[in-house]
Amino acid sequence: MRFILNIIWLIFCGFWMAVGYLVAGIICCVLIITIPFGLASFRIANYALWPFGRTVVDRRDAGAASLLGNLIWLIFAGIWLAIGHLVTGALLCVTIIGIPMGIANFKMIPVSLMPLGKEIVPLP
């Protein structure tokens, strides 16, 4: 079932959301100081392509630097990516088949707002 949901997800919104994260990551990698933001964006782009069967967990070793980085990310890229997830999720929830994918979009909003200090792990 996860495979089928991932295929439908990829066709309807996963590809476009991943492109958004890739663009944000490329822009962040232009400057040396923002490379950690770019790497986090690339990680989330991978998650946005194939989200079913994986989840986001907090890293125990994340500290104050992650909080500061998340606030900077929120201002420059996070809010726009979260709006993309919100709009896409609302549009997918219009159809019965799209409801699981819309809910998955809503679940990706917290990681799109604050990606540093998070880790994407497979579900058991």
Radius of gyration of the chain (CA): 14
Q: Which residues pair with 31 in a beta bridge?
A: none
| pLDDT tens sequence for the chain (124 residues) | 788 888 988 888 889 889 988 998 999 899 888 888 889 899 999 998 988 888 888 888 877 888 888 898 898 888 988 998 899 899 989 989 889 889 989 999 999 898 888 888 898 8
- 0.85 exceeded by pTM: no
